Structure formats: C-alpha cells, structure tokens
Amino acid sequence: MRGYVIMGEQGCSEILAQDTATRLFQTAALLVGNESEAVRLVEEAIAGVEVDPCAEGEAAREQVQNEVVRAAIRLLSQREPQAFVASGLEAGGPAGCIEGDDFTAAGLSQEQWHDLLEGEGRGRLRKWLEHLPAVQRTIFVERAMLRHDNAAIAAHLRAGGGSAAAGWTPEKVSGLFRQALCSLATSLVQAGAVQPA
C-alpha cells in the first residue's frame, strides 16, 4: 500500500499513520471482501481528506474511516445495485433469534468477541462475513467493529447506497444487525466455539 502521507511531526505521523492505515485497510477488506479494492479505497480516502492526525488525533482517524465506509458502500452498491434497497424491509424486524442488539444477547462474552476480532477466531469471523449479503455485512462491520450507532449507519447507507437506499432508518439497521448476530451465534454454536444458552 502506498505510504500514508500526512502533515505533522515526523515521529508522530509515521507511527499513527501506519497504525491507522492498517486498521483502515482491515475495515475496507472486511466491507468489500477484496484486498486490492480495499487498498484502493483506503488510498483514495486518505488522499481526499486533509487532516493532521498529530494535532487532531481521533477526529482525524474517524473522518478518514467514515470516508472509507462511504466509499465501500458506493462500490458495493455499484456492484450490486439492488443490494442496498431498504424498501422491502419492515422497521426493526424480523430479528431472528436475538432480542437485543448487543453481543451478550447473542451469548458472546467479551473474551469470545475479542478472540473473534483479534485472536484465533479471526479467520472464522472473516469466513462467516463472506457469506452475508453486502448490506448486512456492512451493517455488522460498522456496528460490531467500528462501534457506529444505528442512526449513523442508516445515514451512511442512505449517502452511499444511491437512490434505492433512501429508506434506511435506525430501526431497519437494528433489525438486520440482530439477524446477523443470530446467524453468528448459530454459526459459533455449530462450530462448538460457544455453548448454546
């Protein structure tokens, strides 16, 4: 990946840039499922945002991250124009087997979730994500990994998904996220990674 060129003091910018670029790449790869497209999305997002991460820190990282998410949604909606249509979904459901939209409702402990994100379970999580529809994968990555709330995700979907995505609401996002949590919990139980509740 081309170097992340940013302003600021050399030492601060190099360390922060490398860490930020790596995280942005991982996010983009999970969203679009293609490493070369992920590299391109990250490079374009970085080039399009002028920030000084040494001075602006978290706000700068979040600004670039949001641009990567929006660019990924645009790419996915171009690839599958009907993938981001919200009009056929009922607000909030069907939610599947999960009552709430957090990981404890899916029977996952903090340790198990950390293992899926950072440990030996990463490959299992990536494989599972590959089988989700594009919009559900996007919602899951934004909620579970980036910690965006339902309203922010709905706004990203409306902004990046084209005119067909105009109907996204926080309730619809919540419903699809709960379906994804249900699918993940079922997958982990079948794999013996968690015990059924």
Contact (CB, 8 A) for 117 and 145: yes
Query: Is the predicted pLDDT of residue 44 greater than 60, yes or no?
Result: yes
Least confident of 23-37, 80-94, 113-127: 80-94
pTM of the model: 0.80
What does DSSP assign to residue 91?
T
pLDDT digits 0-9 by tens, 147-186: 999 999 999 999 988 888 889 999 999 989 988 888 888 8
Which string of DSSP letters, residue by residue, matches 27-59? HHHHHHS-HHHHHHHHHHHHHH----HHHHTHH
CA distances 65 to 72, 114, 164, 169, Å, are: 11, 21, 24, 21
pLDDT digits 0-9 by tens, 112-129: 877 887 778 788 888 889
Q: Which residue has the tokens 């029977």?
A: 107
What does DSSP assign to residue 164?
G
What residues does each domain of the chain span? 10-79, 82-197
